[in-house]
Amino acid sequence: MRNRLKVLRAECDWSQQDLADRLGVSRQSVNAIETGRYDPSLPLAFKIADVFGLAIEAIFVNPAKETDQ
């Protein structure tokens, strides 16, 4: 699943560790999500959306939906 996490994090001038601290996860988890090696659980996805004040759909993109358009 693609996501805008790295862009959003950069807009806030946060390091991966800064975001990890806000989410209560490891920096390695943030890196894995940003690079698409790991899809977050639904509770974590909601937490990420809350941290940025956005809807989940504004952060995560379902690749199957991209091909439907």
CATH number reported for the structural domain that contains residue 53 in this entry: 1.10.260.40
The predicted pLDDT at position 67 comes to 60
Work out the number of other CB atoms within 10 angstroms of the CB of residue 3.
19
Number of domains in the chain: 1
Residue 51 scores a pLDDT above 90: yes
CA distance 58 to 53: 10
Query: Is residue 68 in a domain?
Result: no
- The pTM score is 0.87
Residue 9 located in a structural domain: yes
pLDDT above 70: residue 68: no
CA 56 to mean position of chain CA atoms: 9
Q: What is the mean pLDDT of the chain?
A: 93
H helical segments located in the chain: 5-11, 16-23, 27-34, 42-52, 63-68
